[in-house]
Amino acid sequence: MTYAIISDVHANEIALSAVLEDARNCGVQKIICLGDVVGYGPEPEKTIDIVRRATVMSLAGNHDDAVAGRLDSADFIDLAADAVARHREALSKENLEWLMNRPYTFRGKTFACTHGDFTSPKSFLYVTDEAEAAANFSARGEQLMFVGHSHVPGIFLTGASGHVYALPPTDFTIEDGKRYIVNPGSVGYPRTDGNTCESTYVIYDDAERTVAFRHIPFAVRSVMQTGRNQKRTRKRVIAAIAVVAALASGALAWVFAPDERIETVTEVVTNSVRTVEIVTNNVASIAHIDNSVTCDILPGDKKVQLHIKLKKKSPAVQVQLAFLDENGETIGDERWSVKKSKKSKVPIPQGSAKAVLSAGHSIGNEPASFETFSLKPVVR
């Protein structure tokens, strides 16, 4: 069995998606999260939804417990404490209850896991030096143990002598007579040397008895932009589909493949969302985004379920559901005009990595207003 051991995602959906894609490409069979799914980052709800679908086990981290109300965040730094309040407000009741019920340890056939340390799992202590590692070796009997919390990937090793050695994150094969504590690092909030910004996690193969560290770069600007958009504009950015940019008379135009698509452009520098002219076969139409939502497609997902309900007196809205592959190319889409509500399950085309549900209106029409606008994958 091959396991991906991930930790400290911290509401970074962009980094998590990159890691899960890499794990999928590496043939990983099961995924275990060591905790801190939330905290700091811009996408707590989406991140929890993905973790719940992708993992066979997700443990409690200190930020998870703080958001769920199981841990007092009074000792958190201001940035972390602010995120606790923000995430608690942003999460659905279902996901708050899920956080509330996360276990503190997990034991597999050949390994054990916790977020902080094994001497007192609910206290979220760190394992960052040889003395702390020695205490953890004494607290458990497993040959292989995984911990997170510090965001720093690395290994602690001990053998017959009882001496504990701190080692850098290097791939290794488990040897008889030796024991290991492995920190996979952080998916969403890496604390590295500052020259790179990359997610780290490990792949453990219990048949081959190997542990391999994976290093996955992610788009820091995209994560920062997501946070800014939520705070300043409360709008999502929809990835452009088959777009070629052209400059004409000093104005920005977006030239599309010959079918009408609803698009939006967000300027990175100003964070402003503006109307963009869509030119199709020399016929111009104007589209404004009223709402959008994106969900990742994971192995086993069969359909996506969409639910749209307009408020009373809202004008009708044009809706598009697009399926994208790993390269961001559209491999299928469906479109509807919704006057009151629409609830439907749509089969996922083979090769889909992401689904994007967007709704908009044409020039001259009023924007729609929504009571419900959701999209989620289902396994049947």
Domains of the chain as residue ranges with CATH: 2-217 (3.60.21.10), 233-378 (2.60.120)
Confidence check: pLDDT of 281 > 80: no
Contact 114, 105 (CB under 8 A): yes
Q: What is the pLDDT of residue 219?
A: 58
pLDDT tens digits, one per residue of 182-238: 999 999 988 765 445 789 999 999 999 999 999 998 655 555 444 444 443 333 222
How far is 334 from 350, CA to CA, in rounded Å? 15
Contact 333, 351 (CB under 8 A): no
Band of residue 364 on the pLDDT scale cut at 50, 70, 90: low
Query: Whole-model pTM?
Result: 0.62
Confidence check: pLDDT of 96 > 70: yes
Q: What is the pLDDT of residue 238?
A: 27
Q: What is the DSSP letter of 122?
A: G
pLDDT tens digits, one per residue of 341-357: 999 999 998 889 999 88
Contact 333, 346 (CB under 8 A): no
How far is 103 from 33, CA to CA, in rounded Å? 11
% of the chain with per-residue pLDDT over 90: 57
Least confident of 46-55, 145-154, 300-309: 300-309
Could you tell me where the DSSP H helices lie in the chain? 13-25, 44-54, 62-68, 78-90, 93-100, 130-139, 220-232
Confidence check: pLDDT of 261 > 50: no
Least confident of 25-39, 138-152, 283-297: 283-297
% of the chain with per-residue pLDDT over 70: 78
Q: What is the pLDDT of residue 367?
A: 84
Confidence check: pLDDT of 241 > 80: no
29 Rama class: left (phi>0) / alpha (psi -120 to 50) / beta:
alpha
Q: What is the pLDDT of residue 16?
A: 94
CA atoms within 13 Å, Cβ hemisphere of 274: 11
How far is 278 from 296, CA to CA, in rounded Å? 27
How far is 278 from 80, CA to CA, in rounded Å? 42
Q: What is the mean pLDDT of residues 316-328?
A: 84
207 Rama class: left (phi>0) / alpha (psi -120 to 50) / beta:
alpha
Contact 284, 277 (CB under 8 A): yes
